Every structure is written in structure tokens, then in C-alpha cells.
Chain A
Amino acid sequence: GESVGLHLPTLSVQEGDNSIINCAYSNSASDYFIWYKQESGKGPQFIIDIRSNMDKRQGQRVTVLLNKTVKHLSLQIAATQPGDSAVYFCAENMFDKVIFGPGTSLSVIP
């Protein structure tokens, strides 16, 4: 079936550098996408979302880019900090069902 997936399972970045986490989705009917952060022992935490009628949305230190032509989603984290170390999931919301990708583990090197 259709699903949301991530290109890279792990990512290590130096503290202070920018991080980019990528996600490929296959369901062209999806109209809403979300990025979640999950720290060890906790539930997923909402980071930022974007609708399909947009191609970019910015939050505090985070930016989500959506390329509908190639069905690609990315999360950019500026000036990555040790507290950003976690697993990041992209997800699509279709008809009130949230479908998660497998996740990317981000590790920040001090």
C-alpha cells in the first residue's frame, strides 16, 4: 500500500550546523503533512506542519519544504543543538488517519 518513507535512517551533525531530514511520500492524494520529534521514552511531539497548497513553512529554527512534483518533504533545523537529538518522523494526514514514516535518528555531536 501507499506509505510515507524516509531516505536516511540516521543522521549525525555537529552542534551549531544546520540539519536536513528528508522524507518521500507516495500518496499523491495527501494534502497535509506533519513533522514529529520523539525523544527516548516519550510520545511524538508536534514540530511543524504544511498543507499541500504551500511549498514552504517556517517556524522557530525549523523550516519544512514540500515538493509535490517529486513527492518530497524535508525538515531543516537551523543551528542544531544537543536538545535536538531525537527520532524525527514525517507523517501524512489523510481523512483523519495519520500515517507515519519509519523515522530518522538525529544525533548532535557537541
Chain B
Amino acid sequence: DAGVIQSPRHEVTEMGQEVTLRCKPISGHNSLFWYRQTMMRGLELLIYFNNNVPIDDSGMPEDRFSAKMPNASFSTLKIQPSEPRDSAVYFCATLPSGGGTEAFFGQGTRLTVV
């Protein structure tokens, strides 16, 4: 398996534009997480899906952020409209069912909003 695949790797956009980040999980992994990493706040969990269903979205900062998982092989994180303070590295991580298993991370998407 190629691991967790995120796209794009880098995104530069202007304030107010819509941004969509994509994640393809490892086949067979039924839990998916979106994290945001910044210097100031470290690694923050945004949302957690299990079997394509959002379980905990309490980390989503505000209504401008939305995430979907339409099927087991694809998830998106959308920011609309984007703001400079959304600049961060966004990671997708997935893991299989069963306790004690580790999460596998994608390479991340570095988002810069100017």
C-alpha cells in the first residue's frame, strides 16, 4: 500500500478563496482523522471519522471548516472562505479497527493563505 495520500502537498491561496484538501486512506482502515499543525498551537485534532461517519468534530474551529467522507477511500477538508490564520500544515491520519493500533499519517498539506 502507498500509505495515506494527501493532496495537494502545498497550497497557496488568497484570503476569501475556497480551499479543498484531500485524503486517501490506507485500504481497510476505517478510522480517519484530520489534524492541523501550527507553531503556536501544535497538533490539533479537527475531526474524527469512523466507518465514514463523523464521530467527533469538536475540534473544527468554526463554520468555515467542513469535512466529508463520502466513502471509505476518500475524505475532504474544506475551508470557505479561507483566512490568513488558517495557514498551517494539515495532516490526515488513518488506522484500522481494533484497539492499540497506531495511526498512519500522510505527508501533510502545507496551506498558506495570503
Q: Do A and B belong to a common assembly?
A: no
